[in-house]
Structure 1
Amino acid sequence: MHETLRLEEELKKHFHYQTFRPGQREIIHDVLQGESVLGILPTGSGKSVCYQLPALLLEGLTIVISPLISLMIDQVKELKAKNYKRAVALNSFVTYAERQLIMEQLHHYQLLYISPELLQQDQVIKRLSQLKISLFVIDEAHCISQWGHDFRPDYLKLGTVIQRLNNPPVLALSATATPAVQADIIKSLNRPEITKRIYPMDRDNLAFVIQDVSSDQEKLELLTFYLKKHYGPALIYFSSRIQAENLAHILSEKLPELNVAFYHGGMEPIDRIQIQQQFMNNQIDVICCTSAFGMGINKHNIRLIIHYHLPSQMEAYIQEVGRAGRDGKPSICLLLYGRYDTAIPKSIIENELPESGEIRVIMQQLQIWGEQGIELTKETINTLYELFQMSEIKWRFLRFHFEKHGMIRGKKVVYQAEQWRNIYDHLVNWIHSRSLYKMQELQEMVSWAESAGCLREQLYKKFQSGYDTPIFECCSNCGIDLEQWETQALLPSQRKETDWRLKLQKLLLGVKHEAK
């Protein structure tokens, strides 16, 4: 009881929250006891508090692996606004001079956000290994798993990095992880004794609607109708960058009263961060985006999530719709489903990782370089990209496995004929298994979209037994009239008036302060 009261007091003192949300106290207690924890909490449940509070209470440095630069920037900004000064981020946006200064002063910080790519640099690991690491946090931990919906090759090296940092306790967090993904995370981190804190991921304030369509023109008409009625803030998810951009332009013309923008991974980082900040500050009403947007976004009043394209996995869908209604108020998750929509996710699955032919020619080129004594430098790697039109993600994936199996040591290529044949077979089989799994997941998503039963029950049944009674409406199959639903978002005119008044108030307060 004493421990519980103390944690409640610390929560109020540092974060001004009156009580913990389900799962937070238990995870924090485990972490403070020095245990490694796998925490699966629903979107919007406050996963960040599970490591931010311990970072304040533990001696030493807490490292947080974060997949998005914009997420790091937002979290550090929010912490400093709460007088949490000893937090810092290291990523590609930090200049070399700033990075060196941060590295020198790391012993003064309690919380370090860092990208998985930067953490692979020897000088960074060497510096961190000199410090007391009290906790190693992996945010969006499903990125580790080959079965995860957002698998990222850079996360595969984290198990080795943890060992080089003297095996600190690990906190792996995710909102969506099936039992298979959970097992894969634990195996990759080599933490068989990890404490598992798994909580139901259903959200009782979300209503699910699937609307059958026969063409993209019908989708556009429906988008225009619903956005006229419901305003914003709203997110529209696409599987195609080009279509996200095109629809953003079309909707801007059709709905001049709304501010519509697009967001995807092909944009410059500074542009992505600007769009995200404008959306957070209510300067943008609607974002047409790919899955690159939304991870860790803590905007409470998103009322409408629309999927223009069919997601490839249940986990991805649950993650994306979970950005709606984080304030607990009723919100709508609308999928515009055309049976022709499976073509895009199938193409994405087929092109996500290298094909057998690509692996073969890459290995042949590496063999030539190895026999000629040519080292792997930025120039030679760029030659690989140009020769074989290979994406950086594919190369990172291959390089990880080549290094893991001893084909590449540092910058040198080490050729052994029989070993290379075995590695080739292993990679081809591994990629085939993942593609087959992803295709099965896509078929599961199609079956859900075409189901006549309760959508909520079908959505969550692979993750948990049962779900909470919805506080608003359940789903379109259980009966919901979307045309009668009224959003609680501000009208554009009201929102703009509020916006300029606040800005003027801040400006005048600033002038008065300077005058003193």
Structure 2
Amino acid sequence: MHNRKLDTYIEQFYGYTSFRPGQKEIMESILQRQDVLGVLPTGSGKSLCYELPARLLSGTTIVVSPLIALMIDQVKQLKANGMKRVVALNSFMDYAERQDVYRYLGEYKIIYISPELIQADQVLNRLKKIDISLFVIDEAHCISLWGHEFRPDYLKLSHVIKELGDPTVLALSATAPSNIQKDIIAALNRPNMKKHIYPIDKENICFSIQQVAHELEKIDFLTDFLQKHHVPTLIYFSSRNVCEQVAEQLSIQLTNRKVAFYHGGMEQMDRLTIQQQFMEDQIDIICCTNAFGMGINKPNIRAVIHFHLPSQIESFIQEIGRAGRDGEPSLSILLYAEHDQLLPRRIITNELPTKEQITVVFQQLKQLALQKQLLPKQVKEIEKMLGIEEIHWRFINYHLEKNDIIKNNQIIYQATHWQNVFEHIVDMRINRLNIKQNQLFAMLDWVHETDCLRESLYKGYQDTYDKPEQHCCSNCDFVLEQWEPPQALREIRTSHQDWQRKLKALLLIGENDETE
């Protein structure tokens, strides 16, 4: 594919006269059938890197995406831009709708799907019958950040790619330093991936760390800041319970603002509803956990505030990158109290099973194997049988399947191999715990940085950076009290009464005691 043709096609399909940095280079490699790892900053048009090739390639493009809300939003945007043969396969579909998609599966140019659903036999067997030209892993850092514990199906994508006939692979991310790049390439088993890595620093975002004494002072800060600045704002929390409580308090104190909470414990439809209203400026402050924001293409978010200390720099960069997608000056604020590291330490420890839990699971599995019993197919039944949380079971089960102890819910017992795998899982637990603790230490180092916050934040991602023409950070020349957003939040649009009733049911009900 010649450069001239790509320039012609981007103008024909999108009305653009030029590419953003990295887009054309990634597309050229894809169209030459090269596997690609692309790292571009948030808001730089990563999705175009596969959307345009999908139009030009003869077969279907599969896009593995982490969130249903993200898939639905991307399909909606593509259809609005005239690309009709796109679909998101997800759990929201009823039986008849899904059967209709299966019937015409080979006619779609882009199919969005989760890493879990694509590995279901009924789905994978159908996909194997159609021509797959391109296999995309969107938000590919999830392979490294989520795959080892939370969503191990990300680590099984190499098997899926092989089953689909080894199509060209594109892995895209906005936060992948060298260690995560290696993890992505190793997990996908694509050692010859061509890297297109670009600086991810967004010069229009100014950084501010605000030292506070305790959480009550954080709430006072939020109230004062949000009363002064009527701008679309995200406030990130590590606890669902605190997220809801603070949202309720802000709603009471900020009578002229629309405040909502959003976290993974909510119903899917409720989350989609909140997201859509935020996109349309019918809600202007979202108190959320890291469940919110991935792929959100809202241009005018002016402030991203972290109420709790993030456990890793990669997540922090992802979240602040949601501010200022329109290029206008925007703000990242981290509220930090002396004991804030205790919560992420507890979360890190709770994400992994203890050695004692692993021992108990192995003992119970051995009994089931000797009795020739199969494991239940439902995770909830396994949790109840083994007395273990789902996240811990996923971690253990991934290594059991990888080492051929569990196959199709059958437990295969062989004493020597059994002991070796047990020791391997215990070692992997220690390894993952060390990695996560080191990520937290890096975050703490950044919080206590005395030199430029921007330079320190991005040093693991790019060799150089340009000093922004406007304000940089609170360690350089920036004073938060002097900040003026480029424009005030436009008036919240009046919505019909049914929607108001829906919002009343969703906004600010602080009764859930769960934590993230």
- Interval of TM-score (by shorter of Structure 1 and Structure 2): over 0.9
How far is 1:359 from its partner? Answer: 1.5
How big is the shift at 1:96?
2.2
More displaced stretch, 71-80 vs 370-379: 370-379
Deviation at 1:353, TM superposition (A): 2.0
Please give the TM-score of this superposition, normalised by the length of structure 1.
0.93
Match among 471, 474, 484 for residue 472 of structure 2: 474
Is 1:15 matched with 2:14? yes
Q: 1:53 to 1:151 in 2, by over 3 A?
A: farther
Instruction: Give the deviation of 1:328 after TM superposition.
Output: 0.5
Where does residue 249 of structure 1 map in the other structure?
Answer: 248
Q: Secondary structure at the match of 1:221?
A: helix
Contact kept, 8 Å, 1:261 with 1:284, in 2: the verdict is yes
| 3-state SS of paired residue (2:341) | helix
Equivalents in 2 of 1:281, 1:195: separation in Å? 38
Counterpart-to-counterpart distance in 2, 1:389 and 1:178: 37
Q: Which of 484, 488, 495 is residue 491 of structure 2 equivalent to?
A: 495
**Cα gap change, 1:25 to 1:88, in 2 (>3 Å):** same
Q: Structure 1 CA distance, aligned partners of 2:391 and 2:135? A: 24
> Equivalents in 2 of 1:416, 1:268: separation in Å?
43
For residues 154 and 332 of structure 1, the distance between their equivalents in structure 2, rounded to whole angstroms, comes to: 35
Alignment partner, residue 283 of structure 2: 284
| Cross-structure match for 1:272 | 271
- Whole-Å Cα distance in 2 between the matches of residues 88 and 461 of structure 1? 39
Corresponding residue for residue 299 of structure 1: 298
**Residue of structure 2 in register with 1:45 after alignment:** 44
Q: Which moved more, 1:20-29 or 1:391-400?
A: 391-400
CA distance in 2, matches of 1:99, 1:121: 14
Question: What RMSD in Å do the two structures reach over aligned CA positions?
Answer: 1.7
**Distance apart, 1:150 and its partner CA:** 9.1
**Structure 2 SS opposite 1:145:** helix
Q: Structure 2 regions of 5+ residues with no counterpart?
A: 497-516
Task: Give CA deviations for 1:152-202 in whole Å, capped at 9, x if unaligned.
Answer: 312011011111111111000111111111111111111111100011111
- Higher mean alpha-carbon deviation, 220-229 vs 3-12, is at 3-12
Q: Give the corresponding residue for 2:230.
A: 231
Q: Give per-residue Cα distances to partners, 1:65-92, cap 9 Å, x unaligned.
A: 0000000000000111111000001011
Distance 2:242 2:91 in 1: 28
Which letter does structure 2 place at the counterpart of 1:406?
Answer: D
The change in CA–CA distance for 1:390 and 1:268 in structure 2 (over 3 A counts) is farther
Q: CA deviation at 1:465?
A: 1.2
Give yes or no for contact 1:142–1:148 (8 Å, CA) kept in 2.
no
Structure 1 unaligned spans of 5+: 504-516
Give 3-state SS (helix, strand or coil) of 1:344's partner.
Answer: helix
Q: Deviations over 1:390-413 (max 9, x none)?
A: 332332232221111111111211
Q: Which amino acid aligns with 1:86?
A: R
Contact 1:71–1:295, Cα closer than 8 Å, also in 2: yes
Q: Deviations over 1:457-507 (max 9, x none)?
A: 11011111121221321000102121121123434xx513xx349x9xxxx
* 2:230 is equivalent to residue 240 of structure 1: no
Shift of 1:287: 0.4
Give how far 1:444 is off.
Answer: 1.4
Match of 1:406 in 2: 404
Q: Give the counterpart letter for 2:436 in structure 1.
A: K
Check whether the contact 1:205–1:331 (CA below 8 A) recurs between aligned residues.
Answer: yes
Which residue identity lines up with residue 394 of structure 2 in the other structure? R
After superposition, the C-alpha distances for 1:28-50 in whole angstroms (9 at most, x for unaligned) are: 11101111000011111111000
Moved more, 117-126 or 15-24: 15-24
Distance 1:33 1:102 in 2: 30
| 8 Å contact from structure 1 (residues 313, 442) kept in 2 | yes
1:325 partner letter: G
C-alpha displacement of 1:146: 5.9
C-alpha spacing 1:148/1:409, structure 2 compared with 1 (3 Å): closer
| Structural mapping, 1:63-74, within 5 Å | 63-74=62-73
Letter in 1 for 2:63: V
* Contact 1:59–1:134 (CA under 8 A) maintained in structure 2: yes
Aligned residues: 496
- Cα distance between partner residues in 1 of 2:494 and 2:9: 36
The alignment partner of 1:341 has SS state of coil
Once residues 418 and 400 of structure 1 are traced to their aligned partners in structure 2, the CA distance between those partners, rounded to angstroms, is 19
Task: Trace 1:316-465 onto structure 2 (pairs within 5 A).
Answer: 316-378=315-377, 381-465=379-463
Give distance in 2, aligned partners of 1:353 and 1:102: 38
Compared CA separation, residues 53 and 359, structure 1 to 2 (3 A): same
Using the size of structure 2 for normalisation, the TM-score is 0.93
Task: Tell me which amino acid in the other structure corresponds to 1:410.
Answer: N
Task: Give the conservation status (yes or no) of the 8 Å contact 1:149–1:313.
Answer: no
Aligned to 1:509: none
Q: Which structure 2 residues correspond to residues 43-192 of structure 1 after superposition, within 5 A?
A: 43-145=42-144, 152-192=151-191
**Which SS does the other structure have where 2:228 is aligned?**
helix
C-alpha distance in 1 between matches for 2:144 and 2:94:
31
Structure 2: distance between partners of 1:187 and 1:308: 35
Q: Is the 8 A contact 1:43 1:323 kept in 2?
A: yes
What is the CA–CA distance in structure 1 between the aligned matches of 2:113 and 2:58, rounded to whole Å?
19
Q: Residues of 1 paired with 2:402 and 2:96: CA distance?
A: 32
Distance 1:339 1:353 in 2: 25
Q: Would the alpha carbon gap of residues 482 and 55 (structure 1) be closer, same or farther in structure 2, given more than 3 Å must change?
A: same
1:388 Cα deviation (Å)? Answer: 4.9
Structure 1: how far apart are the matches of 2:355 and 2:141?
26
> Is the contact made by 2:205 and 2:323 (CA closer than 8 Å) also made in structure 1?
yes
For the 8 Å contact 1:305–1:332, the answer to whether it is kept is yes
Retained in 2: the 8 A contact 1:303–1:489? no
Percent identical among aligned pairs is 53
C-alpha contact 2:115 2:154 (8 A) present in aligned 1 = yes
Q: Is the 8 A contact 1:147 1:434 kept in 2?
A: no
CA distance in 1, matches of 2:132, 2:257: 47
Match of 2:503 in 1: none
Distance 1:150-1:425 versus aligned 2 partners, 3 A rule: closer
Q: Distance in 2 between matches of 1:358 and 1:73?
A: 38
Q: Kindly provide the amino acid, as one letter, of the partner of residue 124 in structure 1.
A: V
Given that 1:304 and 1:332 are in contact with CA atoms closer than 8 Å, whether structure 2 keeps it comes out as yes
